[in-house]
Amino acid sequence: MKDYYVILTGSKNNAGDFLIKYRAKKLFAALRPDREIVDLDAWKPFDAATLELVNNAKALILMGGPSLQSHMHPGIYALTANLDDIKVPITTMGIGWKSISGNWQDSYDYPLSASTLKLLKKAAGSGLPFSVRDFHTLNTLAFKGFDNVLMTGCPAYYDLDFIGKEFKLPEKLRKVAFSLGVSFIESASMEREMKSQILRLREYFKEAEFEVVFHHALDSNTFLKSHGAKQVHNSKHNEFAQWLKGEGIAYVDISGSAESLVDYYSSVDLHVGYRVHAHIFMNSISRMSVLIAEDGRGKAVEKVIGGMVVEGFHHYRNDILSKVCKKIFSGYNRYVANKRVADDVVAQMRYELYSKGHRMNVSRTMMDSNFSVMKNYLERLP
C-alpha cells in the first residue's frame, strides 16, 4: 500500500453521515491522489493492530459531523485511553459543534471535557490546521485558544462537477421533497408544527409530486442495530410515518448509505425541511433548497453559504429550571416552535422565483469561495 491517511467516520444509519465520508473520499481522490484512505469507525477503540495501522499512516483525520461535543473523546472518537499511544499527526475535517439553541453567544463558553481538550491540544501540537464546517464551530475553538482552524465547510458541500458553474432555476417544479427533523421526538410543539408545515406545503405545491423523506431507518431491526440507537427514536419516526399514511402523503426511507441520498435528491427539484445534509447536497448540485433550522447545526449553515434558511423555533428553554422539569416530566416541552414557518418558506420561494435565484446564486458563489479554503487545507496535509 502507498502512503495513506486514516479517517475516523461516524456513519451508522443516518444518510447524511454517509454523505460526509462519501464526498470526503472524492475530494481526497481528486486533490490528494498521492494518498490512500483507510476508513475506520470512530466509536470503536483502537486495539493493538489498529493502533499500529494508525501509527504507520501519514495522518489521523477525525471526520465530521457534529463531533465537537463535550464528550468528543472518548464518546465520539474512542481512540485510546492514553492519547500518547498515538504517534502520528492528528487533525479534523469538517467537524461541527452541537448546540440546540444555536445562538452565536453559545460559542463563547462551549462545554468541552478535560479529555476532549487534551485531544484537541494534542492535535494542535501536530502543527496541522483543523478543518471545521461552520463559523460557529470556528468561534467555539477560537474562544478555547485554538488559532489553527480553517472554515472549510463540510466535505459534503463539494461536488466537483458543479464547482464554478452557474445556478439555474428549474423550468418547472416537478418534485418537492420535505425532510423530517428529529426535534419532534421530544417536543410536542415541534411535532405539531412539522405536521402543519407538511399539510400546508403539500397544498401549496399541489401541482408537483410531494414526498416526505426519512433519513433514519424506519425498520426497527435495521435501526436498532446501529451503535447507540434508541427505541424511542424509531418508535416516534414510525408513528409519524403512520400519520403520513393516514393523510395520504407519500414518504420514503433513504437511510443507510450515501448513494441512496444522492440518487433520491438528484431526482428532486426543490427540497424543504430539517435535514442539514439534504440542504447541503441540494446546494452542492445547484438545486433549490429551504432549510428549516431546528438547532445550531442548521442555524450555522446560513453564515457558511447564505441561501434560504428559516428558523424552526423561536427559543429553546435552557435554564436550570427547564432542565430539571425535563428530567422530572419527560413530556416537558423546551421548544417554543415557530408557527409561521410555512408562510416563511412560501415567501422565500416566491422571492427566489421572482429574482431568478438571487439567494441560490449567492450560495453558489460562497460555496466556490469556501472550496478554495478546503483545497488549501488538503494541500497542507502531510
Can you tell me the distance from the alpha carbon of 315 to that of 235, in angstroms, rounded to the nearest whole number?
Answer: 26
Q: DSSP characters for 97-127?
A: B--SS--GGGGTT----HHHHHHHHHHHTTT
pLDDT for 219 equals: 87
Calculate mean pLDDT across residues 253-269.
95
pLDDT tens sequence across 272-316: 999 999 999 999 999 999 999 999 999 999 999 999 999 999 988
Calculate mean pLDDT across residues 13-25.
92
Q: What three-state secondary structure class fits 311?
A: strand
Can you tell me the distance from the alpha carbon of 12 to that of 20, in angstroms, rounded to the nearest whole number?
Answer: 12
pLDDT surpassing 90 at residue 224: no
- Across the strands, what pairs with 179? 213, 273
Q: What domains can be seen in the chain, in order of their start residue?
A: 4-157+369-379 (3.40.50), 175-367 (3.40.50.2000)
pLDDT surpassing 90 at residue 12: no
Calculate mean pLDDT across residues 168-186.
94
pLDDT for 330 equals: 76
Output the pTM of the full model.
Answer: 0.95
pLDDT tens sequence across 312-344: 999 888 888 878 778 777 788 888 899 999 999
> Do the Cβ atoms of 109 and 120 come closer than 8 Å?
no
Can you tell me the distance from the alpha carbon of 301 to that of 305, in angstroms, rounded to the nearest whole number?
Answer: 6
Can you tell me the distance from the alpha carbon of 377 to that of 128, in angstroms, rounded to the nearest whole number?
Answer: 9
pLDDT tens sequence across 30-74: 999 999 999 999 999 999 999 999 999 999 999 988 999 999 999
Q: What three-state secondary structure class fits 68?
A: strand
